[in-house]
Structure 1
Amino acid sequence: MAETVSERAKEVTANIESARHRIAAACTAAGRSVTDVTIVAVTKTYPASDVRLLAEAGITEVAENRDQEAGDKAEQCRDLDLTWHFVGQLQTNKARSVARYADVVHSVDRGKLVRALGAGARLHGREITSLVQVNLDPASAEGVLGPRGGADPRDVLDVAGAIEDEEGLVLGGVMAVAPRTGDPAAAFGRLAAVAERVRDRYPQATMISAGMSGDLEAAIARGATHLRLGTALLGERKVIVG
């Protein structure tokens, strides 16, 4: 039997409550305030109706990782007051399209992409907050599951500087995905050190996008300000869109 809207709303509400309890407990353990941590709901493969349920529950920061799905969903939800995040690896030839709707792009990792995204932002008359994606696991580029993307930690300040100098872009901070193997806390500790170096040069770059449904506690303990949560809020993905 198909799930009714009310049943889905109850499920999403319960998931949000559970995620917020986890975040609160992690913040208490880390000596941080829950107001320092923002939930970014990753809605890839979930329908626009779920985005509306999230918004009704007070979660208005929404992320996608595929341009076509993101653009379509943003259009369907244009009546909502949402902040749209793009969190997937971004090719330069997609930057102009992403600049149409994305308020925040988490995956900026090279100068060529900075220039392409800046050109798109200016074309559409927009200002896009941009995060430098940091590769915490360089060996992943050769792994069987494919590359994760991200700038080498040694190159992060160069990418940050390019963003800072690019008209239409605003340097927000850094982002990373924990390596597929190893201790996520150690990886997020490395990210925190990179973030500190960026803030030393660019004090306004305070965002640290780190932590997903399975490792949010480790991310909060290492200073994450934005958590990218999908299954923790919306459950296991059942349908692939597009």
Structure 2
Amino acid sequence: MIAVTKTYPASDVLALAGLGVTDMGENRDQEAAGKAAEVAAAGVRPRWHFIGQLQRNKARSVVRYADVVHSVDSVRLARALATATADRQEPLDALVQVSIDGDAARGGALPGSADPAAGLEPVAEAVADAPGLRLVGLMAVAPLGWEPERAFARLAEVADAFRAVHPGATALSAGMSGDFEIAIRYGATHVRVGSALLGMRPTLR
């Protein structure tokens, strides 16, 4: 389970860590970088997951604190992360974000597409070929208007085909506070839970 701590203060991260939670998720670099530094200054080092859409110009900042990036959705982003990881001692774990409904405008590589920039396999190969990255699996968000059962059943099909080509990429990041139990039934290994753990999400000012 990944505790999604976006908009929650560093004190909540420390409280979760004190309860034994080891994995934290953030989706905005500007917030996450400062929070990770504050938590580290308190002597705590959780495993940080970057789960939001990532712009290439933020890659260098994100790799300074993140252990995992869940949202690699283009060859250009994979290359930017590969360049940014040049000084890391350990590879950055990377999941390719897939578009379940084929709408590239909402983010996600396209399953079954030969598009050299945004097809699922070209993106996966760009990650797998980068020495500073480690391809560990797939991530998806249920499309707007789709029932969770339909979305995660489709994702399971994509994941099965993907693992046939990349047998070591077994991670499947799917499901949030409202639907994580369904995601688990369809094979999710990582669920992203925020409000179900920490209550009503505060609004950033």
Structure 1 residues 1-242: aligned runs within 5 Å: 39-78=1-40, 79-139=43-103, 141=105, 147=106, 149-154=107-112, 155-240=119-204
Task: Compare CA radii of gyration and give the structure with the larger one.
Answer: 1
Inter-partner Cα distance in structure 2 for 1:159 and 1:140: 13
Inter-partner Cα distance in structure 2 for 1:81 and 1:65: 18
CA contact (8 A) 2:96 2:138 kept: yes
Inter-partner Cα distance in structure 1 for 2:73 and 2:54: 9
Residue type matched to 2:9 in 1? P
Inter-partner Cα distance in structure 2 for 1:81 and 1:94: 21
Moved more, 120-129 or 64-73: 120-129
In the TM superposition, structure 1's runs of 4+ consecutive aligned residues that sit over 6 Å from their partners are: none
Shift in Å, 1:139: 4.2
CA contact (8 A) 1:160 1:198 kept: no
Q: TM-score, normalised by structure 1?
A: 0.78
Inter-partner Cα distance in structure 1 for 2:69 and 2:78: 11
Question: For the structure 1 residues 75 and 210, does the alpha-carbon distance in structure 2 shift closer, same or farther, using more than 3 Å as the test?
Answer: same
Larger fraction in helix: 1
Greater RCO between the two (CA within 8 Å, min separation 6)?
1
CA contact (8 A) 2:104 2:110 kept: no
Inter-partner Cα distance in structure 1 for 2:185 and 2:197: 20
Residue type matched to 1:152 in 2? L
> Match of 1:226, SS?
coil
Moved more, 180-189 or 117-126: 117-126
CA deviation map 1:128-187 (0-9, x unaligned): 00000001133483xxxxx3x111112212211111101100001000000121211111
Shift in Å, 1:203: 1.3
Q: TM-score, normalised by structure 2?
A: 0.92
Question: Sequence identity of aligned pairs in percent?
Answer: 54
CA deviation map 1:72-128 (0-9, x unaligned): 111111121310000000011111111111100000011000000011111344410
Q: Tell me how many residue pairs correspond in the alignment.
A: 197
CA RMSD of aligned residues (A): 1.3
5+ residue gaps in structure 2?
113-118
